[in-house]
A and B are shown apart, each in its own frame.
Chain A
């Protein structure tokens, strides 16, 4: 399996522009997670989906952020408009459901490094 695929790997944009990050989870996985990592705030869970349905989006920082999962093999995280404080590495991860009905081991993608100038 190719693992979790994220694109682009690097994105540099100017303040005010729309940014779309993409993720292809591992085939057959039930859960998909979006995280943001910065030096100041560490790793933050933004939102996660179970069977394409958003379960918890309480980590989404504000209305400028939105995430969709139109099907089991694709998800997007959009920032509109982008701001310099959004600069971070954004990770996507996917997992199967465990025997106790919760997410099992998460497999992380390589991340997208976003720089907003």
Chain B
């Protein structure tokens, strides 16, 4: 079946630090992959996505590359800001099935 496993949090970083949140998936075929972000008290918002192998999604300084050989879609940002503090969810859609990871809470301190 389809599943998403992402790095457990919480993650605490200082401003301008490098961020990596790991995400791996299990799926047959070619799923679409997503990263969503949830700010306190709000619904999820799409951060970036990739629909085929080797695609790189990017937005607001965040990047993730669809790696089929390692079944991964790790989220990275070179220099985090306090405003990036939120919960980040990795997700996939495959064969009429939508799956989200457990979420990783990121706190960025000034």
Chain A residues within 8 Å of B, Cβ to Cβ = 4, 33, 42-43, 45, 48, 55-56, 91, 93, 98-100, 102-103, 105-111
Contacts and interface: CB of A to CB of B under 8 A. Distances in A.
Given A45-B99, A56-B96, A102-B32, A110 B46 contact: no
A42 B102 contact: yes
B32 A100 contact: yes
Nearest to A58: B97
The range of chain B's interface size is 20 to 34
Q: Is the interface of B mostly helix, strand, loop or mixed?
A: strand
Given A43-B89, A98-B32, A100-B51, A106 B44 contact: yes
B69 interface: no
B82 interface: no
A105 B34 CA distance: 8
B93 interface: yes
A59 to B, nearest CB: 9
B49 interface: yes
Contact of B51 (A98, A106, A111): A98
Contacts of A106: 36, 44, 46
Interface of B: 32, 34, 36, 42-46, 49, 51, 89, 93, 96-103
Contacts of A98: 32, 51
A43 B90 CA distance: 11
A62 B33 CA distance: 29
Contacts of B44: 43, 91, 93, 106, 108
Given A43-B89, A105-B49, A109-B43, 13 more contacts: A43-B44, A43-B103, A55-B96, A56-B97, A93-B43, A93-B44, A105-B34, A106-B44, A107-B46, A108-B43, A108-B45, A110-B42, A111-B42
